[in-house]
């Protein structure tokens, strides 16, 4: 009897030990889960979706029988289905992806029908431009996790629109963003910009998982993660070095791709959304308020907002150029016939100087009131260098910050490299200060008693030659620098005789230093 018990215990130990030996990839995923994937923490993407839509009830389920949903599909089936999705994007299935399949599919009774319903409106636009740029059509699922297909979505970091484009990235991609217009909110313009960016990222990394990670956190942060990992380019092995949200990003994308590919197998149905697809575009040549169109043609302001989300204040600011406006096709003839009447309707009220007649460009070109030169002083000029601050400049010249602002019409602390400042110092001290403009930063700090530690050499590689790069549409010095290892933006500008305010034109050839 004792021998039988001993044999049974020995068998259980051997069986348990054998079955507990995971493969290498499983160990990696388990290690990542241990630190980053708490099962009770809802990721920020899903939280943002609830924030945007305000949906916190199950009222939608009254539209169809939720008991018909198939929510407990075996992992082996899901893994096989994902494997069978035809796409050039590597769609892995692991526990991280499983977590998001649970959220979007197995626990997706609220979010899945809404995403499916919204996709009917926007996916044709995405597919059109993804095809034009030669990109995988499955990238159309990206805005589902970025914005929950909401044109007015704004993240806590300021990313805006369907594709959640950051302000500076939008400008870099050629989008117009100002007080009146934000083309990040326009479905077509933002999709074109996103396609350009995704194409650039794929050309840089030659891997869609890395391109998606760079789209989420930026190429700079991704490059830093690759450096910290010792050059690792496998996305799943790179996870511990990535920002928190980016660790979840590709997993969420794969889960949403699965949702849209197999939602019928789970008996999900799209939630109905009434949207306008029969519209046309007219060009607006004068300032126009949506309320003027509402008053003359009877098109509601809400409808105009829905069709034209890029206009932030219900105003088309067509002062110096024409802007597009989408309206239902049924109103097109009446708009053309009554266009002058629409422009003139209460225009003195809608565009009085006190309320709406503000042009962002006027802020740059108008004359700024500046304080006159004090008597008994000598006038000096100082050219702002990279790294300068208005407080430092005031210290170097022995003047107050408030006087320096007043002499140059500066209301805050914003100055830019290359800007020339007026500085007034006592006549008797002119010789002491007139050399400051030619001094190095270290010399200027030493003059006021501050010791500057020498900078650590971050890149000991030497330039061994040059290669040439032809500027493409959407390129910037930052984008170009990210394509070449060990080359900074400053080095590219310097060897090509450019500065931070220079404009790159498509077709320009730039010298790129080669380092070893």
Q: For 184-193, what is each residue's pLDDT tens digit? A: 999 999 999 9
Share of the chain above pLDDT 70, in %: 75
In sequence order, the β-bridge partners of residue 422 are 381
Element (H, E) at 202: helix 187-205
| 191 SS3 class | helix
> What is the rounded distance in angstroms from the CA atom of residue 212 to the CA atom of residue 373?
55
> What is the rounded distance in angstroms from the CA atom of residue 474 to the CA atom of residue 197?
8
> What is the rounded distance in angstroms from the CA atom of residue 470 to the CA atom of residue 112?
44
Is residue 209 within 8 Å of residue 235, measured between CB atoms?
yes
Which CATH fold would you assign to the domain 463-515?
Answer: Membrane-bound Lytic Murein Transglycosylase D; Chain A (3.10.350)
> What is the rounded distance in angstroms from the CA atom of residue 282 to the CA atom of residue 298?
17
For residue 300, pLDDT beyond 80? yes
Q: Which two tokens stand for residue 426?
A: 């006592």
* Domain extents in the chain: 31-266, 279-364, 370-447, 463-515
> What is the rounded distance in angstroms from the CA atom of residue 1 to the CA atom of residue 7?
10
Is residue 194 within 8 Å of residue 163, measured between CB atoms?
yes
Element (H, E) at 467: strand 463-470
> What is the rounded distance in angstroms from the CA atom of residue 463 to the CA atom of residue 516?
7
Tally of CA atoms within 13 A in the half-sphere of 313 that contains its CB: 16
Class of domain 370-447: alpha beta
Q: What is the pLDDT of residue 38?
A: 38
Q: Give tens-digit pLDDT for 331-379.
A: 998 898 888 888 888 776 777 554 444 343 433 333 445 778 888 899 9
* Residues contacting residue 418 through CB under 8 Å, at least 6 positions apart: 383, 384, 499, 500, 501
| 379 SS3 class | strand
Q: What is the pLDDT of residue 144?
A: 95
- Mean of the per-residue pLDDT values for the chain? 80
Q: Which of 149, 193, 146 minimizes the C-alpha distance to 169?
A: 193
**Residue 463 φ then ψ, to 5°:** -75, 120
Which CATH fold would you assign to the domain 31-266?
Answer: Lysozyme (1.10.530)
CA 373 centroid distance within chain: 45
- When pLDDT is averaged across residues 33-50 and rounded to a whole number, the result is 41
> What is the rounded distance in angstroms from the CA atom of residue 178 to the CA atom of residue 41?
36
Q: What is the pLDDT of residue 168?
A: 92
Element (H, E) at 383: strand 377-383
Is residue 427 within 8 Å of residue 419, measured between CB atoms?
no
For residue 72, pLDDT beyond 90? no
* pLDDT greater at residue 70 or residue 450: 70
Q: Name the DSSP letter for residue 105.
A: I
- When pLDDT is averaged across residues 77-87 and rounded to a whole number, the result is 95
**Residue 282 φ then ψ, to 5°:** -115, 150
pTM over 0.85: no
Q: Give tens-digit pLDDT for 105-133.
A: 998 888 899 999 999 999 999 999 999 99
Q: Which two tokens stand for residue 151?
A: 């044109």
Q: Which two tokens stand for residue 515?
A: 């380092």
Q: What is the pLDDT of residue 240?
A: 93
Q: What is the pLDDT of residue 462?
A: 65
Q: Which two tokens stand for residue 303?
A: 């409808």
Q: What is the pLDDT of residue 352?
A: 59
For residue 141, pLDDT beyond 90? yes
- When pLDDT is averaged across residues 449-475 and rounded to a whole number, the result is 63
For residue 296, pLDDT beyond 60? yes
Q: What is the pLDDT of residue 116?
A: 93
CA dihedral 98, 103, 109, 113 (to 10 degrees): -90
**471: how many CB neighbours lie within 10 A of its CB?**
17
Q: What is the pLDDT of residue 411?
A: 63
For residue 238, pLDDT beyond 80? yes
Q: How long is the chain? A: 516
Q: What is the pLDDT of residue 287?
A: 92
* pLDDT greater at residue 9 or residue 317: 317
For residue 486, pLDDT beyond 80? no
Q: What is the pLDDT of residue 156?
A: 87
CA end-to-end span of the chain: 73
Q: What is the pLDDT of residue 215?
A: 95
Task: Tell me if domain 370-447 and domain 463-515 are identical in fold.
Answer: yes
Q: How confident is the model at residue 148 (pLDDT cuts 50, 70, 90)?
A: very high
| 131 SS3 class | helix
For residue 45, pLDDT beyond 70? no
The 3 state secondary structure assigned to 79-102 is HHHHHCCCCCCCCCCCHHHHHHHH
């Amino acid at each position: 009897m004792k021998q039988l018990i001993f044999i049974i215990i020995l068998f259980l130990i051997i069986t348990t030990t054998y079955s507990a030996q995971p493969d290498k990839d499983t160990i990696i995923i388990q290690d990542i889960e241990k630190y980053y994937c708490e099962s009770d923490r809802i990721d920020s993407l899903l939280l943002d979706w609830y924030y945007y839509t305000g949906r916190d009830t199950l009222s939608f389920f009254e539209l169809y029988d939720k008991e018909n949903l198939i929510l407990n599909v075996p992992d082996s089936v899901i893994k096989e289905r994902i494997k069978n999705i035809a796409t050039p994007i590597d769609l892995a299935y692991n526990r991280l992806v499983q977590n998001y399949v649970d959220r979007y599919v197995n626990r997706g009774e609220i979010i899945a029908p809404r995403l499916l319903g919204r996709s009917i409106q926007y996916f044709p636009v995405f597919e059109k431009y993804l095809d034009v740029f030669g990109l995988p059509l499955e990238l159309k699922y990206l805005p589902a996790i970025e914005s929950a297909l909401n044109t007015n979505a704004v993240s806590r970091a300021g990313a805006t629109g369907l594709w959640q484009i950051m302000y500076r990235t939008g400008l870099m991609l050629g989008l117009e963003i100002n007080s009146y217009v934000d083309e990040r909110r326009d479905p077509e313009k933002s999709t074109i910009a996103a396609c350009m960016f995704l194409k650039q990222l794929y050309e840089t990394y030659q891997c869609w998982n890395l391109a998606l990670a760079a789209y989420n956190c930026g190429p700079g942060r991704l490059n830093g993660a690759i450096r910290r990992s010792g050059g690792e380019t496998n996305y799943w092995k790179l996870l511990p070095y990535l920002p928190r949200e980016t660790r979840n990003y590709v997993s969420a994308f794969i889960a949403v791709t699965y949702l849209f590919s197999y939602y019928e197998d789970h008996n999900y149905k799209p939630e109905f959304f009434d949207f306008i697809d029969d519209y046309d575009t007219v060009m607006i040549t004068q300032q126009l308020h949506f309320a003027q169109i509402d008053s003359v043609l009877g098109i509601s302001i809400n409808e105009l907002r829905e069709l034209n989300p890029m206009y932030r204040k219900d105003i088309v600011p067509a002062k110096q150029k024409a802007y597009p406006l989408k309206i239902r096709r049924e109103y097109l003839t009446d708009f053309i016939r009554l266009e002058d009447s629409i422009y003139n309707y209460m225009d003195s009220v809608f565009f009085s100087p006190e309320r709406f007649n503000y042009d962002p460009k006027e802020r740059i070109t108008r004359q700024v009131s500046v304080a006159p030169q004090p008597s008994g002083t000598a006038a000096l000029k100082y050219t702002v260098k990279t790294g300068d601050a208005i407080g430092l400049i005031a210290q170097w010249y022995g003047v107050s910050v408030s006087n320096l602002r007043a002499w140059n019409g500066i209301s805050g602390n914003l100055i830019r490299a290359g800007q020339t400042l007026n500085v007034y110092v006592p006549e008797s001290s002119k010789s002491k200060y007139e050399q400051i403009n030619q001094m190095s930063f270290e010399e200027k700090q030493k003059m006021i008693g501050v010791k500057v530690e020498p900078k650590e050499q971050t890149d000991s590689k030497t330039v061994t030659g040059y290669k040439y790069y032809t500027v493409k549409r959407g390129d910037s010095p930052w984008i170009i620098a990210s394509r070449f290892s060990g080359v900074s933006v400053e080095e590219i500008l310097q060897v090509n005789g450019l500065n931070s305010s220079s404009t790159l034109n498509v077709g320009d050839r730039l010298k790129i230093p080669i380092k070893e």
